[in-house]
Structure 1
Amino acid sequence: MNEKNLEKSLRAEDFEAHRPHLRAVAHRMLGSLAEADDAVQETWLRASAADTSEIVNTGGWLTTIATRTCLNALRSRATRREEELETAYGSDRPDGRPSPEQEVEAADAVGIALLVVLDTLTPDERLAFVLHDLFALPFDEIAAILERSPASARQLASRARRRVKGTAPAAPDSTRQRQAVDAFLAASRAGDFEALVTLLHPDVVLTADPAVIPTPEPVVVLGAHTVAKGAMAATGRAQFTGLALLDGFPGLVMAPQGQLRLVLAFTIEPETGLITAVDVIAEPRRLAALDLAVA
């Protein structure tokens, strides 16, 4: 590359100044840090090869490239990734790739439930919502990325917003149920057996559908101590779990790398606030029938 062309190229230090923002956008678009980093790297490759002599807003230009890269990735997803859950929790990653701990930290910062709901949107809805509602990009700029009219971009974001908020009415006494579910998640993440037992009714019943284990028939577990032991065994998976609304009721969604794997629906005894039943759902048909929303 000659000196004249070099002057028209994006400098690495200029790109690095925008990397955190691009990574944040890509993570919300794609749901995992690993995919977000791939998209940011692709953005750098495209931007560094482009003529920047007429670029006025470098940040906006890079955001456009990054979101179009993410949009193409979303549109090419024919099905959800089919790797086993344990693969998602494994610690063996190529050098330089985000660790499971980094994935968890990033998902918590955004909200696991939000990533799950975003994953139910169409690629265009997701882009419109993420760029407008999360990053305050004007609809005319979003429309240019999507090659649609501003009115169409506004409509996409509105549809996405309704999905994020959910359509199920708020459950009665949802505050008490949310407190119980929050406490269950905290104890599960901490591996606090005694705390789990105190949250569970002595005769609590946990039912897991055949897709959870998998087994030919649903698995039924009885009693506070037995259910708490099961939760202790899943402490690692609880790191990828977050609070969400399931048909209007507070529950938990497990979603490593933004991909919904299963949900836990709870029944709470009104008088004591103890958990009397846990329904663990992983069958795709049952998951699809749930109205998921951000709590």
Structure 2
Amino acid sequence: MGSAGTGAEGIAGERRRLINVAYRLLGSVTEAEDAVQDAYARWYGLPRSRQEEILSPGAWLTTVTGRICLDVLGSARARRERYAGAWLPEPLPDRTEWDRAGGAEPAGRADPADQIVLDESVTMAFLVVLETMTPAERVAFVLHDVFRYPFAEIAGVLRRTPAACKQLAASARRRVSAARAPVPAATGQADVVRQVKEAWETKDIAALVGLLNPAAVMTADGGGIVGTALRPVEGGARIARYMVAIADKAPGLELLERSVNGAPGLVARRAGVVLTVASFDVADGRITRIWVVRNPHKLRPWARED
């Protein structure tokens, strides 16, 4: 886990990997950054003699970051019970695509969101499944199945035996399988999302119903800050009517086809300000799940500077 050496440059070089681990564990860029910052603060708080005793600072930082994330996950249940409506992970843009399309780099130091590798382990569908796991399951699964760390080292993070960590990862794996493990987005999903955009723009309820699985579910996250459905909207027909009703209330809204967490999605903005980011899960050519994030605190990576 990590690399050897205590040089400042080597230690700083671990940040990207740690941010990637922490985001997958927490589903929040802000919380991931805080966890990594805390781990670094603890490292620099060690006496120099203690730092020199640590053979692999990268492994030490990973262990500490993992434990911090474990604590955060342990307290998340209570915090999310107080959250207004559904809680969804923070969506991420493809920075290269977003910049080319007219977005702008944040001012100041690099945004931690830019350091996150967008692959199948950060799709919204996958992150939502991770939310169903216990904190220990999530840590064991992410570290082993996503980042390929051995159970002997994960045991140090969880303070459990390697055998217990292996059982936790196996339990998490069953949850993923039961939820129909998401696969990397393909051209087919992009085509479906494009058709949804066109039907939404023309307020074509019949076309939307045809694109939605009859048992589709739409979950929205406004964080109690902006208006949105507080409970999941279930059923393709109901979702289609809801989408058209929203379109009627949102004149001047611009819909963009953009990658969201590495998969085809839609971004809605007005006057250059991103108001909504939508992710989709598609099966057999029809949408089965829609995740809509409207909480402005979770849309900071999508901010533009004019």
Alignment CA distance shift 1:226-1:145 (3 Å): closer
TM-score normalised by L of structure 1: 0.59
Other-structure match for 1:119: 131
Alignment CA distance shift 1:129-1:76 (3 Å): same
Note the C-alpha offset of 1:165: 1.9
Which range moves more in the overlay, 203-212 or 26-35? 203-212
Cα distance between partner residues in 2 of 1:198 and 1:180: 22
Identity of aligned residues (%): 31
Match of 2:28 among 24, 32, 43: 32
Note the C-alpha offset of 1:107: 8.2
1:42 counterpart = 2:38: yes
Other-structure match for 1:82: 83
Note the C-alpha offset of 1:242: 3.2
For residues 119-268 of structure 1, the aligned pairs below 5 Å read: 119-166=131-178, 182-187=190-195, 192-193=197-198, 201=206, 204=209, 213=229, 220=238, 226=244, 229=247, 235-236=267-268, 239-243=277-281, 251-254=288-291, 256=293
TM-score normalised by L of structure 2: 0.58
Note the C-alpha offset of 1:229: 4.2
Alignment CA distance shift 1:47-1:221 (3 Å): closer
Given that residues 199 and 207 in structure 2 are in contact (C-alpha distance below 8 angstroms), is that contact kept between their aligned partners in structure 1? no
Q: Which runs of 5+ in 1 are unaligned?
A: 1-8, 170-177, 258-295
Q: Which runs of 5+ in 2 are unaligned?
A: 92-105, 221-227, 256-265, 269-274, 295-306
State the Cα deviation string for residues 158-214 of structure 1 (Å, max 9, x = none).
Answer: 010111122679xxxxxxxx98765343455xxx43697699745948899999636
Note the C-alpha offset of 1:256: 4.3
Given that residues 74 and 123 in structure 1 are in contact (C-alpha distance below 8 angstroms), is that contact kept between their aligned partners in structure 2? yes
Which range moves more in the overlay, 129-138 or 194-203? 194-203
Cα distance between partner residues in 1 of 2:219 and 2:62: 43
SS for the counterpart of 1:213 is coil
Other-structure match for 2:11: 15
Q: How many residues align?
A: 232
Other-structure match for 2:52: 53
Given that residues 141 and 168 in structure 2 are in contact (C-alpha distance below 8 angstroms), is that contact kept between their aligned partners in structure 1? yes
Given that residues 187 and 196 in structure 1 are in contact (C-alpha distance below 8 angstroms), is that contact kept between their aligned partners in structure 2? no
Alignment CA distance shift 1:37-1:44 (3 Å): same
Report 1 or 2 for greater relative contact order, CA contacts < 8 Å, sequence distance ≥ 6: 2
Given that residues 84 and 230 in structure 2 are in contact (C-alpha distance below 8 angstroms), is that contact kept between their aligned partners in structure 1? no
Rg: which structure is higher? Answer: 1
Cα distance between partner residues in 1 of 2:246 and 2:292: 21
1:62 counterpart = 2:79: no
State the Cα deviation string for residues 119-154 of structure 1 (Å, max 9, x = none).
Answer: 111000000000000111111111122111111100
Note the C-alpha offset of 1:76: 1.5
Question: Cα RMSD (Å) of the superposition?
Answer: 5.0
SS for the counterpart of 2:65 is helix
Cα distance between partner residues in 2 of 1:113 and 1:221: 18
Which range moves more in the overlay, 139-148 or 152-161? 139-148
Note the C-alpha offset of 1:243: 1.8
Which residue identity is paired with 1:213?
A: A
Alignment CA distance shift 1:134-1:256 (3 Å): farther
Which residue identity is paired with 2:163?
A: A
Note the C-alpha offset of 1:241: 1.1
Cα distance between partner residues in 1 of 2:240 and 2:36: 48
Cα distance between partner residues in 2 of 1:251 and 1:11: 49
Which residue identity is paired with 1:56?
A: L
Cα distance between partner residues in 2 of 1:42 and 1:229: 43
Alignment CA distance shift 1:121-1:165 (3 Å): same
Alignment CA distance shift 1:126-1:60 (3 Å): same
